[in-house]
Chains A and B, each alone.
Chain A
Amino acid sequence: MLSAAAASVALTENGLVTPAAAQEGKFVWAATGGAWSEQLTSSFVKGTKFAGPTTTQSAQLESIAASKILSSNGRPEYSASNHGNAEVALLQAGSALQPYDLSTVTNFADIRDSAKLGTDYAAFCLLIFGLAWNTKEAKKPTSFMDMWKPEYKGRIGVPAYGYYGMYWLHALNKIMGGTEDDVTPALKVVSKLVREQQAVMIENSDHTARLFEQGEIVMGPWWSGRIIRLKEQGQPIGFEYVPGTLAVGSGFVIPKGAPQPQLANEFINGTLDPQRQAAFAALTRYPPTNKKTVLDEKYKDVALPESAEANFVKLDWAKISATRAKNLELWNKEVL
C-alpha cells in the first residue's frame, strides 16, 4: 500500500503537473551553480539567441538534476541538462535521454570520439583528473603510486567517493589490472592509503585548494584546470598526466520528453562550436573537444600534450554507474 502511495505521489509530483517553465515555452538549462554556471553562461549564453528572458538556468548539483530527470516519468523540467560521462550512462540506462538531432547539431561531426556517448551526448570540454603535487614539498610524481610513499604519510589527499572518488577508484583499479566488475584491487590499496597512511578525504575542489594552500596535503588527484589557474597565481603546484589519468567529459543531454527540444539542439550545437569552446577553455583552462578549436597562444598549457592521451584510462561508464551504490557500500566499509 505504501509503495502504491509512493508511486502515486511520484505521479502527482512529476507526471501530472506540467512544470511552469515548460508551459510558458521557456528554455531551461540545468547545471551546477556558482562559478561553473557563470563560466557556462559567459561562453555559451552571452551573445546568443539564448541571452533573452525566455531562457532560465536551473542551478543544482548535476546528480540532483539526474535524479529529477529519472523520476520525472518522461516529463522533465529541463530542455538540456549538464552532466559528466557516468551520469549520462546512468540516464541512458534509465532510457531517460533522447538523441541529438544531428541536422541541427552540425558541430557533432567535429567532436573527438572520446568525448561522445552514442548520439545522446557530446562533451564541450574535457575535465582532466590527474595528479597534483606541491612543487616545494614533494618530488615530481610519475604515477598515482607515488602517493603511497612513506614520506608523504598523512599529507596525501584522496577524493571522497561522492567527489570523484568513485571514478578515481576505477581508474586506479584499471591500471592495476582490474576491471569495472571488481574493484577489490584498488579498494585494498586505497584502504591502506587512507587507514594506515592517514590520507585526508577531500570533499570538493574548494576543499582541495584550501588543503594544498594550508600545506595539509602535498599530493593528490585533482582537476587540471584548477591547478593551471593556481599555478598562474604563483602557487607552488604542479600537474602530471600520470598513467590512469581520467579525461571526463562535461556536456549537455536532452532528457526524453524535454520541453523545447529544437532549442535544446541549437543550444547544444553552440556548446560544440570551436570559437565558443576556445572562449570556455580560456576561462576555465580545460581542453576543448572540438578538433577544429584553435586555442590562443597564451593557453598552450591547456591543450593536451601529445604524450598525455596515451595515459588516459578508458572506462565503461555504464558499468561504473550501475555499480555506484554497491561500490559506495564497499568504500564506506573498507576504506573509511
Chain B
Amino acid sequence: MLHLPPHKRELGIVFQNYALFPHLDVLGNVAFGLRRRRVPVAEANRQAKAALEMVGLGDYGRRLPNQLSGGQQQRVALARAFVLRPPLLLMDEPLSSLDLKLREQMRHEIRALQRQLGLTLIYVTHDQDEALAMSDRIAVLSAGQVQQIGAPREIYERPVNEFVARFIGSVNLWKADDVRVEADGSVLARVAGGTTMRVARHSAKTGAIQVGVRPERLRILPAGSVGEAGPNQFDAEIEEITFLGEDLQIRARLPGATPVQVATKNVTDVASLAPGQRVKLECSVDDVICIS
C-alpha cells in the first residue's frame, strides 16, 4: 500500500481534528469523495444524505462545518469517510478533542456503526479505556515498535513486557531477586522485603523477571484473620486511603517498605479501614503477572 499515492490507497481516514472542508457545506463534505469517484451529483447527494442520517445529522446538510459543534463535526467526518465503504478505515484519535461524556457516547455509536456496516477499523488512541472498550484486537505501540498484539483481555491480563503492563491500566510490579521453579512448574519469586509470590505455570518465566498484580485483583482480608494459608498472602500496613465514592484506592506497604496499590469497591467489609491498620492482602495465583 505504501507504494501507492494517497489518493489511490482506498484507505478511509478520520482525522483527529476532523479536517472538514470549511468551504463546503455538510452535504458537500460527505459527497466529496463520491464526486471524486465520478458518482453523478444526484446519486452522490443521495448517498451522502443517507450517511448523514446514519450519524443523526440528516437535517444538517446545508450547514457549514463551522456552524456545528465538535461532536457534530466528528460525525460528519465519520460519515464522510464511511460513505465510500473503504475496505479499511483509519481513525486517528477521533474523539480526543471531545469532552468525557460525549466521548463515551461516541464510542458506543462508532462501535455500533462499525458492526452495522461491517467496517474494518483501525482506531488509534492514547486512551486505554477507549482501546479496551472498542477493540476486537489491540496493538500496543511504543516508539514506533509494536509491543504486543492481542484481544483486550489478553493485553490486560498477560502483558508481555513492563511497558504494556504499565501502559494499560495500573499495576503493582516488583523486581524478583530470587526465583525458584517448583515441581509443579509454577515459580516462586521473592521480591524486596522478603514477600514471595507464586506464579502459575502457564505464565511462569525465569531469569530476570518482574512479578506483580493489578490493584483490583488484590483482596483485603479482615485484620487478624489467618484463614487458610493461601500461596499469595502478604502482610501490609495501610498508608493512605483515597475515597472515590464507589471505589477506594488504597496505598499500603509490604514488609521492607515495598509499596503496593489496592483498588477495591467501597463495600461494607472495607468501609472501616483506616491508615496505619495492618491487613492481609491476597491474590489468586492466576492473577499474578510475570514478565521478563
Instruction: Decide if A and B touch, CB cutoff 8 A.
Output: no
Q: Chain A: residues with CB nearer than 8 A to chain B?
A: none
Residues in B lying within 8 Å of A, measured CB to CB:
none
